Structure 1
Amino acid sequence: MGDNRVPGPLSLEGNAAENWKMFFQEFEIYLISSEKSEKKDEVKIALLLHCGGRELLDIFNTLPIEEDDKKDYKKLIAGLNVHFEPKTSVTHERYLFNTRVQQRDESFDSFVTDLRKRAKNCSFGTLRDELIRDRIICGIFDENLRGRLLRLGESTLEEVMKQCRINEVSEDHMKELTAAANPKTHSVRAKPKPNQDVQLSGPRGSEDKPICKFCGYRHVRRRSLCPAADKECLMCGRRGHFQSRCTYKGTRIHQYHERNIWHTYREDDEPSGSDEELEKSSGSECKSQ
Protein backbone atom coordinates (compact mmCIF):
# COMPACT_ATOMS: atom_id res chain seq x y z
CA MET A 1 0.00 0.00 0.00
CA GLY A 2 2.69 2.45 -1.02
CA ASP A 3 0.13 5.00 -2.24
CA ASN A 4 -1.10 5.88 1.29
CA ARG A 5 -0.22 9.35 2.42
CA VAL A 6 2.06 9.40 5.47
CA PRO A 7 0.86 11.96 8.06
CA GLY A 8 3.03 14.44 9.84
CA PRO A 9 5.25 15.80 11.01
CA LEU A 10 3.66 17.06 14.24
CA SER A 11 3.72 20.85 14.64
CA LEU A 12 3.84 22.45 18.09
CA GLU A 13 3.16 25.97 16.83
CA GLY A 14 -0.16 27.52 17.80
CA ASN A 15 -2.56 25.17 19.59
CA ALA A 16 -0.38 22.14 20.35
CA ALA A 17 -3.27 20.14 21.84
CA GLU A 18 -5.38 20.51 18.68
CA ASN A 19 -2.36 19.79 16.48
CA TRP A 20 -1.66 16.55 18.36
CA LYS A 21 -5.31 15.50 18.22
CA MET A 22 -5.45 16.02 14.46
CA PHE A 23 -2.06 14.34 13.88
CA PHE A 24 -3.02 11.24 15.87
CA GLN A 25 -6.36 10.96 14.05
CA GLU A 26 -4.54 11.06 10.70
CA PHE A 27 -2.00 8.52 11.98
CA GLU A 28 -4.74 6.07 13.03
CA ILE A 29 -6.34 6.39 9.58
CA TYR A 30 -2.93 5.76 8.01
CA LEU A 31 -2.44 2.56 10.06
CA ILE A 32 -5.83 1.20 8.99
CA SER A 33 -5.56 2.15 5.32
CA SER A 34 -2.05 0.68 5.06
CA GLU A 35 -3.09 -2.47 6.97
CA LYS A 36 -0.56 -1.80 9.72
CA SER A 37 -3.00 -1.48 12.63
CA GLU A 38 -2.41 -5.14 13.56
CA LYS A 39 1.37 -4.84 13.61
CA LYS A 40 3.37 -5.28 16.81
CA ASP A 41 3.51 -2.39 19.26
CA GLU A 42 7.18 -1.71 18.55
CA VAL A 43 6.43 -1.33 14.83
CA LYS A 44 3.50 1.06 15.42
CA ILE A 45 5.53 3.09 17.90
CA ALA A 46 8.40 3.35 15.42
CA LEU A 47 5.98 4.48 12.72
CA LEU A 48 4.43 7.01 15.10
CA LEU A 49 7.81 8.58 15.95
CA HIS A 50 8.91 8.47 12.32
CA CYS A 51 5.79 10.30 11.12
CA GLY A 52 5.78 12.71 14.07
CA GLY A 53 9.25 14.00 13.38
CA ARG A 54 11.84 15.58 15.68
CA GLU A 55 9.30 17.47 17.84
CA LEU A 56 7.45 14.28 18.83
CA LEU A 57 10.69 12.36 19.33
CA ASP A 58 11.92 14.98 21.83
CA ILE A 59 8.67 14.68 23.76
CA PHE A 60 8.90 10.88 23.70
CA ASN A 61 12.42 10.95 25.15
CA THR A 62 11.38 13.20 28.06
CA LEU A 63 7.90 11.82 28.68
CA PRO A 64 7.48 11.16 32.45
CA ILE A 65 6.26 7.55 32.21
CA GLU A 66 7.94 4.22 32.86
CA GLU A 67 10.32 2.96 30.20
CA ASP A 68 8.29 -0.25 29.85
CA ASP A 69 5.18 1.85 29.18
CA LYS A 70 6.99 3.54 26.30
CA LYS A 71 7.12 0.12 24.62
CA ASP A 72 3.36 -0.40 25.02
CA TYR A 73 1.48 1.40 22.23
CA LYS A 74 -1.73 2.07 24.19
CA LYS A 75 0.08 3.26 27.32
CA LEU A 76 2.35 5.50 25.25
CA ILE A 77 -0.62 7.09 23.55
CA ALA A 78 -2.30 7.61 26.93
CA GLY A 79 0.85 9.32 28.22
CA LEU A 80 1.02 11.56 25.15
CA ASN A 81 -2.65 12.51 25.56
CA VAL A 82 -1.98 13.59 29.15
CA HIS A 83 1.06 15.57 28.01
CA PHE A 84 -0.91 17.47 25.36
CA GLU A 85 -4.04 17.90 27.45
CA PRO A 86 -4.70 21.67 27.66
CA LYS A 87 -4.40 23.20 31.11
CA THR A 88 -7.62 25.15 31.60
CA SER A 89 -8.86 27.34 34.43
CA VAL A 90 -12.51 26.69 35.21
CA THR A 91 -12.85 30.18 36.67
CA HIS A 92 -11.51 31.75 33.49
CA GLU A 93 -13.71 29.58 31.27
CA ARG A 94 -16.79 30.49 33.29
CA TYR A 95 -15.88 34.17 33.03
CA LEU A 96 -15.74 33.86 29.23
CA PHE A 97 -19.06 32.03 29.25
CA ASN A 98 -20.85 34.52 31.50
CA THR A 99 -19.65 37.56 29.53
CA ARG A 100 -20.61 36.15 26.11
CA VAL A 101 -23.29 38.23 24.37
CA GLN A 102 -24.85 38.01 20.94
CA GLN A 103 -23.44 40.50 18.43
CA ARG A 104 -25.69 42.72 16.29
CA ASP A 105 -25.28 40.73 13.04
CA GLU A 106 -24.71 37.32 14.66
CA SER A 107 -27.30 34.60 14.03
CA PHE A 108 -28.96 32.92 16.98
CA ASP A 109 -27.65 29.47 16.03
CA SER A 110 -24.09 30.79 15.91
CA PHE A 111 -24.54 32.35 19.35
CA VAL A 112 -25.92 29.13 20.89
CA THR A 113 -23.25 26.94 19.28
CA ASP A 114 -20.51 29.07 20.80
CA LEU A 115 -22.18 28.94 24.23
CA ARG A 116 -22.31 25.14 24.05
CA LYS A 117 -18.62 24.97 23.19
CA ARG A 118 -17.68 27.26 26.07
CA ALA A 119 -19.89 25.32 28.49
CA LYS A 120 -17.85 22.14 27.90
CA ASN A 121 -14.89 23.63 29.80
CA CYS A 122 -16.94 25.11 32.65
CA SER A 123 -17.70 21.92 34.65
CA PHE A 124 -21.38 22.84 34.99
CA GLY A 125 -22.46 19.22 35.45
CA THR A 126 -26.24 18.73 35.57
CA LEU A 127 -26.81 22.52 35.53
CA ARG A 128 -25.36 22.87 32.05
CA ASP A 129 -28.64 23.31 30.12
CA GLU A 130 -30.11 25.69 32.71
CA LEU A 131 -27.03 27.89 32.67
CA ILE A 132 -26.97 27.96 28.87
CA ARG A 133 -30.65 28.97 28.94
CA ASP A 134 -29.89 31.77 31.42
CA ARG A 135 -26.96 33.00 29.32
CA ILE A 136 -29.15 33.11 26.21
CA ILE A 137 -31.73 35.27 27.99
CA CYS A 138 -29.08 37.59 29.44
CA GLY A 139 -26.96 37.81 26.29
CA ILE A 140 -29.57 37.98 23.53
CA PHE A 141 -29.23 41.16 21.46
CA ASP A 142 -32.96 41.90 21.11
CA GLU A 143 -34.13 43.55 24.34
CA ASN A 144 -37.82 43.13 23.47
CA LEU A 145 -37.27 39.42 22.99
CA ARG A 146 -35.48 39.26 26.33
CA GLY A 147 -38.55 40.71 28.01
CA ARG A 148 -40.80 38.07 26.41
CA LEU A 149 -38.45 35.27 27.45
CA LEU A 150 -38.46 36.48 31.05
CA ARG A 151 -42.26 36.43 31.05
CA LEU A 152 -42.22 32.74 30.11
CA GLY A 153 -41.34 31.89 33.71
CA GLU A 154 -39.72 28.50 34.36
CA SER A 155 -38.96 27.58 30.76
CA THR A 156 -36.59 24.92 29.45
CA LEU A 157 -33.59 25.46 27.18
CA GLU A 158 -35.53 23.97 24.25
CA GLU A 159 -38.46 26.36 24.78
CA VAL A 160 -36.19 29.40 24.92
CA MET A 161 -34.34 28.32 21.79
CA LYS A 162 -37.63 27.78 19.95
CA GLN A 163 -38.85 31.29 20.80
CA CYS A 164 -35.54 32.83 19.70
CA ARG A 165 -35.61 31.04 16.34
CA ILE A 166 -39.24 32.05 15.71
CA ASN A 167 -38.35 35.66 16.49
CA GLU A 168 -35.34 35.60 14.16
CA VAL A 169 -37.39 34.18 11.27
CA SER A 170 -40.10 36.81 11.86
CA GLU A 171 -37.53 39.62 11.83
CA ASP A 172 -36.07 38.36 8.55
CA HIS A 173 -39.53 38.21 6.96
CA MET A 174 -40.31 41.76 8.10
CA LYS A 175 -37.09 43.06 6.55
CA GLU A 176 -37.92 41.35 3.24
CA LEU A 177 -41.46 42.76 3.21
CA THR A 178 -40.21 46.25 4.05
CA ALA A 179 -37.59 46.13 1.28
CA ALA A 180 -40.19 44.90 -1.23
CA ALA A 181 -42.71 47.59 -0.26
CA ASN A 182 -40.19 50.44 -0.44
CA PRO A 183 -37.77 49.63 -3.27
CA LYS A 184 -37.00 53.30 -4.03
CA THR A 185 -36.66 54.57 -0.50
CA HIS A 186 -33.46 56.56 0.01
CA SER A 187 -32.13 57.93 3.22
CA VAL A 188 -31.87 61.71 3.47
CA ARG A 189 -28.76 63.10 5.06
CA ALA A 190 -28.49 66.54 6.55
CA LYS A 191 -26.18 68.92 4.69
CA PRO A 192 -22.90 69.06 6.63
CA LYS A 193 -21.58 72.32 7.91
CA PRO A 194 -18.16 73.71 6.89
CA ASN A 195 -15.15 72.26 8.75
CA GLN A 196 -17.20 69.14 9.55
CA ASP A 197 -15.58 65.76 8.88
CA VAL A 198 -17.21 65.11 5.52
CA GLN A 199 -15.79 62.07 3.74
CA LEU A 200 -16.25 62.19 -0.02
CA SER A 201 -14.01 59.17 -0.23
CA GLY A 202 -12.60 56.73 2.30
CA PRO A 203 -13.86 55.57 5.73
CA ARG A 204 -16.42 57.71 7.47
CA GLY A 205 -15.12 59.84 10.33
CA SER A 206 -11.46 59.51 9.34
CA GLU A 207 -9.20 62.23 10.64
CA ASP A 208 -6.44 61.72 8.08
CA LYS A 209 -8.13 63.86 5.39
CA PRO A 210 -7.08 67.54 5.25
CA ILE A 211 -9.59 70.38 5.44
CA CYS A 212 -10.04 71.71 1.91
CA LYS A 213 -9.28 75.43 1.60
CA PHE A 214 -11.85 75.79 -1.19
CA CYS A 215 -14.96 74.25 0.46
CA GLY A 216 -14.11 73.84 4.16
CA TYR A 217 -14.86 70.09 4.19
CA ARG A 218 -12.57 67.08 4.66
CA HIS A 219 -12.08 64.96 1.54
CA VAL A 220 -9.43 63.31 -0.60
CA ARG A 221 -7.00 65.88 -1.97
CA ARG A 222 -8.45 65.86 -5.47
CA ARG A 223 -9.98 68.90 -7.13
CA SER A 224 -12.67 66.95 -8.94
CA LEU A 225 -14.04 65.71 -5.61
CA CYS A 226 -14.38 69.20 -4.13
CA PRO A 227 -18.05 70.31 -3.79
CA ALA A 228 -17.00 73.87 -4.69
CA ALA A 229 -15.15 72.92 -7.88
CA ASP A 230 -17.82 74.31 -10.22
CA LYS A 231 -19.56 76.75 -7.87
CA GLU A 232 -19.45 80.54 -8.17
CA CYS A 233 -18.42 82.48 -5.09
CA LEU A 234 -21.08 84.95 -3.96
CA MET A 235 -18.38 87.24 -2.57
CA CYS A 236 -16.00 87.76 -5.49
CA GLY A 237 -17.82 86.14 -8.40
CA ARG A 238 -15.02 83.71 -9.20
CA ARG A 239 -15.57 79.96 -9.54
CA GLY A 240 -13.92 77.20 -7.55
CA HIS A 241 -14.65 78.08 -3.91
CA PHE A 242 -17.47 78.88 -1.49
CA GLN A 243 -18.14 82.33 -0.09
CA SER A 244 -17.19 81.16 3.42
CA ARG A 245 -13.67 80.30 2.15
CA CYS A 246 -13.15 83.40 -0.02
CA THR A 247 -9.80 85.14 0.51
CA TYR A 248 -9.97 87.51 -2.49
CA LYS A 249 -8.98 91.05 -1.46
CA GLY A 250 -9.87 92.81 -4.71
CA THR A 251 -13.23 93.83 -6.09
CA ARG A 252 -16.12 92.14 -4.33
CA ILE A 253 -19.67 91.58 -5.52
CA HIS A 254 -22.62 92.79 -3.44
CA GLN A 255 -26.32 92.09 -3.78
CA TYR A 256 -29.34 93.74 -2.24
CA HIS A 257 -33.06 93.44 -2.67
CA GLU A 258 -35.35 96.42 -3.20
CA ARG A 259 -38.89 96.67 -4.62
CA ASN A 260 -38.95 92.96 -5.58
CA ILE A 261 -35.76 93.40 -7.64
CA TRP A 262 -32.32 91.91 -6.90
CA HIS A 263 -29.55 94.46 -7.57
CA THR A 264 -25.94 93.39 -8.15
CA TYR A 265 -22.87 95.64 -8.22
CA ARG A 266 -19.12 95.41 -7.67
CA GLU A 267 -17.42 97.19 -4.83
CA ASP A 268 -15.47 99.50 -7.13
CA ASP A 269 -18.71 100.32 -9.02
CA GLU A 270 -20.76 101.05 -5.89
CA PRO A 271 -23.73 103.07 -7.12
CA SER A 272 -24.26 106.65 -6.35
CA GLY A 273 -27.05 109.08 -7.12
CA SER A 274 -30.75 108.94 -6.53
CA ASP A 275 -32.83 105.89 -5.86
CA GLU A 276 -34.70 106.41 -9.14
CA GLU A 277 -31.47 106.33 -11.18
CA LEU A 278 -30.29 103.24 -9.31
CA GLU A 279 -33.60 101.47 -9.90
CA LYS A 280 -33.48 102.24 -13.61
CA SER A 281 -29.92 101.03 -14.04
CA SER A 282 -30.54 97.87 -12.03
CA GLY A 283 -33.77 97.11 -13.86
CA SER A 284 -32.16 97.47 -17.25
CA GLU A 285 -29.27 95.26 -16.15
CA CYS A 286 -31.67 92.51 -15.06
CA LYS A 287 -33.61 92.75 -18.38
CA SER A 288 -30.44 92.49 -20.41
CA GLN A 289 -29.48 89.37 -18.50
Structure 2
Amino acid sequence: MNWQAVHLHKEWKRFQQHCTFTFNGPLATKTEAQKVNYLMTYIGDKGREIYNTFTWIPEDENTPAENQTLEGVYAKYEAYVAPRKKLIRATVNFNRRKQEVGEKFNNFVTDLRILVKDCGYAEEERMVRDAIVLRSVHDTVRKKCLEKGDTLTLEMAINIGQNHEMSQESLKAINDEDPKVHTVRDKRYSKKKTEQHGSRSRHGTSKWHKQTPSPKACTKCGYSNIHKECPARNSKCNFCHKRGHYEKVCRNKLKTHIVDEMYSTGSSSEDYDSDSFSHEINIISNEEAEKTDWWEEVKINGKKVLF
Protein backbone atom coordinates (compact mmCIF):
# COMPACT_ATOMS: atom_id res chain seq x y z
CA MET A 1 0.00 0.00 0.00
CA ASN A 2 1.39 3.37 -1.04
CA TRP A 3 0.27 5.85 1.58
CA GLN A 4 1.95 8.71 -0.28
CA ALA A 5 -0.27 8.29 -3.34
CA VAL A 6 -1.97 11.44 -4.61
CA HIS A 7 -5.24 9.57 -5.04
CA LEU A 8 -5.30 7.71 -1.75
CA HIS A 9 -8.79 6.29 -2.12
CA LYS A 10 -7.92 4.90 -5.55
CA GLU A 11 -4.72 3.39 -4.16
CA TRP A 12 -6.67 1.76 -1.32
CA LYS A 13 -9.11 0.18 -3.78
CA ARG A 14 -6.19 -1.25 -5.73
CA PHE A 15 -4.55 -2.60 -2.58
CA GLN A 16 -7.79 -4.08 -1.25
CA GLN A 17 -8.45 -5.86 -4.54
CA HIS A 18 -4.95 -7.37 -4.47
CA CYS A 19 -5.53 -8.64 -0.93
CA THR A 20 -8.93 -10.10 -1.86
CA PHE A 21 -7.39 -12.14 -4.67
CA THR A 22 -4.71 -13.40 -2.29
CA PHE A 23 -7.14 -14.33 0.50
CA ASN A 24 -9.49 -16.10 -1.91
CA GLY A 25 -6.60 -17.84 -3.64
CA PRO A 26 -3.43 -19.17 -2.00
CA LEU A 27 -4.62 -18.18 1.52
CA ALA A 28 -8.19 -19.40 1.15
CA THR A 29 -7.75 -22.08 3.83
CA LYS A 30 -6.55 -19.63 6.47
CA THR A 31 -8.83 -18.48 9.31
CA GLU A 32 -10.30 -14.98 9.38
CA ALA A 33 -7.93 -13.90 12.14
CA GLN A 34 -4.93 -15.24 10.21
CA LYS A 35 -6.01 -13.35 7.10
CA VAL A 36 -6.18 -10.14 9.16
CA ASN A 37 -2.61 -10.76 10.29
CA TYR A 38 -1.50 -11.26 6.70
CA LEU A 39 -3.26 -8.00 5.80
CA MET A 40 -1.32 -6.14 8.46
CA THR A 41 1.99 -7.42 7.06
CA TYR A 42 1.02 -6.21 3.59
CA ILE A 43 -0.23 -2.79 4.67
CA GLY A 44 3.18 -1.37 5.60
CA ASP A 45 4.53 0.69 8.50
CA LYS A 46 2.27 3.67 7.85
CA GLY A 47 -0.76 1.42 7.66
CA ARG A 48 0.09 -0.19 11.01
CA GLU A 49 0.50 3.25 12.58
CA ILE A 50 -2.96 4.14 11.35
CA TYR A 51 -4.24 0.80 12.67
CA ASN A 52 -3.10 1.78 16.18
CA THR A 53 -5.25 4.94 16.06
CA PHE A 54 -8.48 3.03 15.50
CA THR A 55 -10.98 2.22 18.25
CA TRP A 56 -12.17 -1.36 17.99
CA ILE A 57 -15.41 -2.91 19.15
CA PRO A 58 -14.60 -5.87 21.37
CA GLU A 59 -16.09 -9.27 20.85
CA ASP A 60 -19.30 -10.43 22.48
CA GLU A 61 -21.04 -13.75 22.72
CA ASN A 62 -22.15 -13.82 19.07
CA THR A 63 -19.71 -11.49 17.31
CA PRO A 64 -15.90 -11.62 17.15
CA ALA A 65 -13.87 -8.53 17.85
CA GLU A 66 -13.96 -5.95 15.09
CA ASN A 67 -10.22 -6.15 14.52
CA GLN A 68 -10.40 -9.94 14.07
CA THR A 69 -12.40 -9.84 10.81
CA LEU A 70 -11.45 -8.56 7.37
CA GLU A 71 -14.78 -6.82 7.08
CA GLY A 72 -14.21 -4.87 10.28
CA VAL A 73 -10.65 -3.88 9.40
CA TYR A 74 -11.55 -2.93 5.82
CA ALA A 75 -14.36 -0.72 7.13
CA LYS A 76 -11.98 1.23 9.37
CA TYR A 77 -9.56 1.91 6.55
CA GLU A 78 -12.39 2.81 4.18
CA ALA A 79 -13.54 5.43 6.66
CA TYR A 80 -9.96 6.70 6.98
CA VAL A 81 -9.43 7.29 3.26
CA ALA A 82 -13.01 8.42 2.54
CA PRO A 83 -12.47 12.06 3.60
CA ARG A 84 -9.76 12.26 0.94
CA LYS A 85 -12.26 11.27 -1.71
CA LYS A 86 -13.39 14.61 -3.16
CA LEU A 87 -16.04 14.48 -5.88
CA ILE A 88 -15.05 17.80 -7.44
CA ARG A 89 -11.36 16.91 -7.47
CA ALA A 90 -12.17 13.46 -8.89
CA THR A 91 -14.27 15.07 -11.61
CA VAL A 92 -11.43 17.43 -12.52
CA ASN A 93 -9.00 14.51 -12.74
CA PHE A 94 -11.40 12.57 -14.94
CA ASN A 95 -12.01 15.48 -17.30
CA ARG A 96 -8.30 16.24 -17.56
CA ARG A 97 -7.46 12.69 -18.56
CA LYS A 98 -6.73 12.54 -22.26
CA GLN A 99 -4.97 10.02 -24.42
CA GLU A 100 -1.32 10.89 -24.86
CA VAL A 101 0.56 10.56 -28.14
CA GLY A 102 1.85 7.00 -28.42
CA GLU A 103 -0.32 5.73 -25.54
CA LYS A 104 -2.21 2.49 -26.07
CA PHE A 105 -5.94 2.99 -26.48
CA ASN A 106 -6.85 0.25 -24.00
CA ASN A 107 -4.66 1.86 -21.33
CA PHE A 108 -6.49 5.15 -21.89
CA VAL A 109 -9.90 3.49 -21.52
CA THR A 110 -8.86 1.56 -18.39
CA ASP A 111 -7.75 4.78 -16.70
CA LEU A 112 -11.04 6.46 -17.59
CA ARG A 113 -13.01 3.60 -16.05
CA ILE A 114 -11.00 3.83 -12.83
CA LEU A 115 -11.24 7.62 -12.54
CA VAL A 116 -14.96 7.75 -13.21
CA LYS A 117 -15.64 5.56 -10.17
CA ASP A 118 -14.78 8.44 -7.81
CA CYS A 119 -16.88 11.05 -9.62
CA GLY A 120 -20.29 9.95 -8.40
CA TYR A 121 -21.82 9.98 -11.89
CA ALA A 122 -25.13 8.15 -12.31
CA GLU A 123 -24.19 7.14 -15.90
CA GLU A 124 -20.56 6.13 -15.76
CA GLU A 125 -20.54 4.39 -19.16
CA ARG A 126 -21.89 7.44 -20.93
CA MET A 127 -19.22 9.64 -19.32
CA VAL A 128 -16.45 7.26 -20.40
CA ARG A 129 -17.92 7.13 -23.91
CA ASP A 130 -17.97 10.93 -24.11
CA ALA A 131 -14.40 11.13 -22.83
CA ILE A 132 -13.27 8.84 -25.68
CA VAL A 133 -15.03 11.03 -28.23
CA LEU A 134 -13.63 14.25 -26.80
CA ARG A 135 -10.14 13.27 -25.71
CA SER A 136 -8.91 10.49 -27.98
CA VAL A 137 -5.61 11.43 -29.59
CA HIS A 138 -6.71 10.30 -33.06
CA ASP A 139 -8.95 12.54 -35.17
CA THR A 140 -10.19 9.51 -37.10
CA VAL A 141 -11.52 7.87 -33.93
CA ARG A 142 -13.37 11.02 -32.89
CA LYS A 143 -14.80 11.49 -36.38
CA LYS A 144 -16.09 7.92 -36.63
CA CYS A 145 -17.64 8.15 -33.17
CA LEU A 146 -19.41 11.40 -34.04
CA GLU A 147 -20.75 9.83 -37.23
CA LYS A 148 -22.66 7.31 -35.07
CA GLY A 149 -24.56 10.13 -33.40
CA ASP A 150 -26.87 9.21 -30.51
CA THR A 151 -26.60 5.52 -31.38
CA LEU A 152 -22.99 5.46 -30.19
CA THR A 153 -22.44 3.25 -27.16
CA LEU A 154 -19.35 2.79 -25.00
CA GLU A 155 -18.74 -0.62 -26.57
CA MET A 156 -18.95 0.85 -30.07
CA ALA A 157 -16.56 3.68 -29.16
CA ILE A 158 -14.04 1.18 -27.74
CA ASN A 159 -14.28 -0.99 -30.86
CA ILE A 160 -13.66 2.02 -33.09
CA GLY A 161 -10.60 3.01 -31.08
CA GLN A 162 -9.17 -0.52 -30.98
CA ASN A 163 -9.74 -1.15 -34.70
CA HIS A 164 -8.09 2.14 -35.64
CA GLU A 165 -5.06 1.37 -33.47
CA MET A 166 -4.70 -2.11 -34.98
CA SER A 167 -4.90 -0.75 -38.51
CA GLN A 168 -2.27 1.90 -37.73
CA GLU A 169 0.07 -0.71 -36.25
CA SER A 170 -0.39 -2.98 -39.28
CA LEU A 171 0.30 -0.11 -41.68
CA LYS A 172 3.42 0.85 -39.73
CA ALA A 173 4.65 -2.75 -39.82
CA ILE A 174 4.23 -2.81 -43.61
CA ASN A 175 6.01 0.53 -44.08
CA ASP A 176 8.85 -0.43 -41.75
CA GLU A 177 9.75 -3.57 -43.71
CA ASP A 178 13.17 -3.17 -45.30
CA PRO A 179 13.27 -5.03 -48.64
CA LYS A 180 16.57 -6.71 -49.36
CA VAL A 181 17.88 -4.92 -52.38
CA HIS A 182 21.30 -5.77 -53.73
CA THR A 183 22.84 -3.07 -55.87
CA VAL A 184 26.18 -2.74 -57.57
CA ARG A 185 27.46 0.75 -57.96
CA ASP A 186 29.00 1.73 -61.23
CA LYS A 187 32.64 2.49 -61.22
CA ARG A 188 33.04 5.61 -63.26
CA TYR A 189 35.94 7.64 -64.45
CA SER A 190 36.01 11.35 -63.99
CA LYS A 191 36.44 13.52 -67.03
CA LYS A 192 39.95 14.34 -65.94
CA LYS A 193 40.93 10.69 -65.66
CA THR A 194 39.27 9.88 -68.98
CA GLU A 195 41.24 12.61 -70.72
CA GLN A 196 44.44 11.36 -69.11
CA HIS A 197 44.10 7.68 -70.04
CA GLY A 198 41.94 7.89 -73.14
CA SER A 199 38.30 7.26 -73.76
CA ARG A 200 36.96 3.77 -74.46
CA SER A 201 34.48 3.06 -77.23
CA ARG A 202 31.29 1.11 -76.57
CA HIS A 203 32.73 -1.94 -78.39
CA GLY A 204 35.53 -2.38 -75.90
CA THR A 205 38.33 -1.01 -78.15
CA SER A 206 41.20 0.90 -76.64
CA LYS A 207 43.23 3.97 -77.49
CA TRP A 208 46.98 4.08 -77.13
CA HIS A 209 48.65 6.98 -75.42
CA LYS A 210 52.22 7.93 -74.74
CA GLN A 211 52.90 9.52 -71.41
CA THR A 212 55.18 12.48 -71.90
CA PRO A 213 57.01 14.37 -69.20
CA SER A 214 55.91 17.84 -68.24
CA PRO A 215 57.44 20.48 -70.54
CA LYS A 216 58.87 22.17 -67.49
CA ALA A 217 60.52 19.03 -66.14
CA CYS A 218 63.90 17.62 -67.10
CA THR A 219 63.59 14.23 -68.82
CA LYS A 220 66.72 12.99 -67.05
CA CYS A 221 66.10 13.93 -63.44
CA GLY A 222 62.41 14.91 -63.38
CA TYR A 223 63.13 18.29 -61.79
CA SER A 224 62.90 21.69 -63.37
CA ASN A 225 64.92 21.80 -66.56
CA ILE A 226 66.18 25.25 -65.62
CA HIS A 227 69.63 24.15 -64.53
CA LYS A 228 73.12 24.40 -66.00
CA GLU A 229 74.07 20.81 -65.33
CA CYS A 230 71.57 17.96 -64.77
CA PRO A 231 72.19 16.29 -61.40
CA ALA A 232 71.48 12.90 -63.00
CA ARG A 233 74.11 13.15 -65.72
CA ASN A 234 76.46 10.74 -63.94
CA SER A 235 73.80 8.75 -62.02
CA LYS A 236 72.92 5.13 -62.73
CA CYS A 237 69.25 4.15 -63.09
CA ASN A 238 68.18 1.50 -60.57
CA PHE A 239 65.69 0.07 -63.07
CA CYS A 240 67.48 -0.26 -66.42
CA HIS A 241 71.01 0.24 -64.96
CA LYS A 242 71.88 2.80 -67.60
CA ARG A 243 73.59 6.06 -66.79
CA GLY A 244 72.31 9.55 -67.35
CA HIS A 245 68.88 9.50 -65.68
CA TYR A 246 67.01 8.67 -62.49
CA GLU A 247 64.73 5.65 -62.05
CA LYS A 248 61.61 7.82 -61.62
CA VAL A 249 61.91 9.11 -65.22
CA CYS A 250 63.21 5.88 -66.74
CA ARG A 251 61.47 5.38 -70.07
CA ASN A 252 61.61 1.62 -69.79
CA LYS A 253 59.86 1.79 -66.43
CA LEU A 254 57.19 4.10 -67.81
CA LYS A 255 55.99 1.26 -70.03
CA THR A 256 52.92 0.28 -68.07
CA HIS A 257 49.88 -1.80 -68.62
CA ILE A 258 46.63 -0.57 -67.09
CA VAL A 259 43.58 -2.75 -67.26
CA ASP A 260 40.48 -1.43 -65.61
CA GLU A 261 37.53 -3.73 -65.44
CA MET A 262 34.27 -1.98 -64.85
CA TYR A 263 30.86 -3.49 -64.30
CA SER A 264 27.68 -1.55 -64.77
CA THR A 265 24.22 -2.66 -63.69
CA GLY A 266 21.50 -0.89 -65.63
CA SER A 267 23.08 2.56 -65.53
CA SER A 268 21.74 5.19 -67.90
CA SER A 269 25.14 6.81 -68.21
CA GLU A 270 26.25 7.66 -71.73
CA ASP A 271 29.75 6.45 -70.90
CA TYR A 272 28.88 2.77 -70.21
CA ASP A 273 26.59 0.09 -71.50
CA SER A 274 24.32 -1.92 -69.15
CA ASP A 275 25.29 -5.39 -67.90
CA SER A 276 28.53 -5.54 -69.76
CA PHE A 277 32.17 -5.93 -68.87
CA SER A 278 34.48 -3.40 -70.40
CA HIS A 279 38.21 -3.52 -70.60
CA GLU A 280 40.28 -0.44 -70.97
CA ILE A 281 43.90 -0.89 -71.76
CA ASN A 282 46.06 2.16 -71.69
CA ILE A 283 49.59 1.41 -72.71
CA ILE A 284 52.17 4.05 -72.23
CA SER A 285 54.84 2.96 -74.59
CA ASN A 286 58.28 4.11 -75.47
CA GLU A 287 59.10 4.31 -79.16
CA GLU A 288 62.74 3.97 -78.28
CA ALA A 289 62.22 0.75 -76.28
CA GLU A 290 64.94 -1.75 -76.78
CA LYS A 291 64.28 -4.62 -79.11
CA THR A 292 65.10 -7.03 -76.34
CA ASP A 293 61.76 -6.20 -74.62
CA TRP A 294 59.22 -8.99 -74.86
CA TRP A 295 55.62 -8.64 -75.99
CA GLU A 296 52.54 -10.72 -75.20
CA GLU A 297 49.50 -11.16 -77.43
CA VAL A 298 46.16 -10.93 -75.57
CA LYS A 299 42.76 -11.37 -77.13
CA ILE A 300 40.18 -8.97 -75.70
CA ASN A 301 36.63 -8.78 -77.02
CA GLY A 302 37.68 -10.71 -80.10
CA LYS A 303 40.58 -8.39 -80.93
CA LYS A 304 44.29 -9.06 -80.54
CA VAL A 305 46.31 -6.61 -78.53
CA LEU A 306 50.09 -6.67 -78.04
CA PHE A 307 51.58 -5.48 -74.80
TM range (shorter): 0.3 to 0.5
TM-score when normalising by structure 1: 0.46
TM-score when normalising by structure 2: 0.43
Asked which structure has the greater CA Rg, the reply is 2
User: Bigger relative contact order, structure 1 or 2, given CA contacts below 8 A and separation 6+?
Assistant: 2
Flag the structure with higher helix content.
1
